[in-house]
Amino acid sequence: MSLIADDQRYVWHPFTPMQAYALESPPVIVGGEGFELIDETGARYLDGVSSLWCNVHGHRVPEIDQAIRDQLDRIAHSTLLGLGGGPSIELARRLVEITPAGLEHVFFSDSGATAVEGALKVAWQYQRQRDGSDGSRDLFVGLTGGYHGDTIGAVSLGNIDLFHAVYGPLLFQTMTVPSPVAFHRPAGTTAEEWLLFCEEELERVLLANHERIAAVVIEPLVQGAAGILVHPPGYLKRLRELTGELGLLLIADEVAVGFGRTGTMFACEQEEVKPDLLCLAKGLSGGYLPLAATLATGEIYEAFLGEPHEGRTFFHGHTYTGNALGCAAALASLDLLETRDVLGNVGRIAGVLSDHLAALADHPHVGEIRHKGLMVGIELVADRVGNQAFPVERRTGHLVTLAARRRGVVLRPLGDVVVLMPAPAMPAASVETLCQVTIDAIEEATRGG
């Protein structure tokens, strides 16, 4: 008996217009093998977005499966509130060893949003407990188009009206600086003029408000949910220089860009940036289980030390913090990243993406192809002259998804930006298939547009 009817009757899907969803009867995934998803009819689909950007090594990976089974023979979960946990201790050590220098302590949570939420609260409390604090730092700064998750603190830093406008009255005040990307620049400006303005505005805002700023939050190199917006080289490094000069905390949200997505283990490495707080999730467990981490410097951690009655404790946490099964999966995933030269594979298949998608460069309905490592955003337009958008009701990006699905590939667009996000370990032949299907699906979905 098909599960489609019960899916439509009982399950409320995230970021999904349910009225339209019910009319389309999407496949129900019941299995996976390698880099393919398998629905209840036995049909197979290449996983073109890494199961929402988190899968690293594929599905049913024997080494990760076995690590979870082995951990089940010990214990599935116990609290970290006042107790230690073996896998979480080992994973914390491993993360400190591989992340940028200076990050010495790991706070575990459940998702990208909770990793960011924890970082915001750590920064806020640190600014009130550090030596010499007068408690005046009460402002967080982010980028336009930023997306850091869907909890209230993370949404307050976000800047995507479609997602967040309805929650405005719930949010706290933040400040934004313009995202340094030129495709959607103001009319009458050149790309060079706009990027220069973005850097000057970054400096102006930070300098004018440095006595109030608790932290600056950035998705290093690529803003994912905004449409795979790729920052120009040097922007991240300049931000770190400015925050260092002004004594501001820098929070790097590497939830989407970490674990090889941009070409290196962590995006910050590419500009030799050492953040004060680093947020990780998605690929942390190899895409197996909900697991996140917020890493902090020793200086930040020490501001939370003191006698219990002093109240300097970080009163924050989650029931499944440091879950043993998730940590076991993460440790196995980290081993595979090393032993299978996954980062080397990233370099190879990033070249495959670049080479094959070049066929879309002159397509009449492709306004821009944005590409960094394994993160690709193909912006569809009704007319390349002035980058005129398709009517929203046409749902052109979604039409590409449906066309790709008929060809055996799962995609998930961001509006009319078609996103490709192959798993870092995906073989080149599968990436070639992903590219060709995407090209064919775009041709079908934009025909007559």
Mean pLDDT, 10 residues at a time, over the chain (449 residues)?
91 95 94 98 98 98 98 98 97 98 98 98 97 91 96 89 87 95 93 97 98 98 97 98 97 98 98 98 98 98 97 96 98 98 98 98 97 98 95 97 98 98 98 98 92
pLDDT for res 422: 98
pLDDT for res 413: 97
CA distances from 186 to 24, 112, 224, 233 (A): 37, 32, 21, 21
pLDDT for res 448: 78
Residue type, 368: E
pLDDT for res 164: 82
Q: HSE on the CB side for 385, CA within 13 Å?
A: 0
Cα(6)–Cα(3) distance, integer angstroms: 5
CATH number of 4-57+341-446: 3.90.1150.10
pLDDT for res 258: 98
Cα(434)–Cα(353) distance, integer angstroms: 9
**Cα maximum dimension of the chain:** 70
> 372, 391, 383, 375: which is closest to 423 by C-alpha?
375
pLDDT for res 1: 74
How far apart, in Å, do the first and last CA atoms of the chain sit?
39
CATH number of 66-339: 3.40.640.10
CA distances from 385 to 182, 313, 317, 360, 378 (A): 15, 57, 51, 16, 16
**CATH 3.40.640.10 segments of the chain:** 66-339
Residue 28: burial class (beta carbons within 10 Å; 0-12, 13-18, 19+): middle
**Tokens of residue 24, six digits:** 């389309």
pLDDT for res 158: 85
> 8, 220, 17: which is closest to 100 by C-alpha?
220
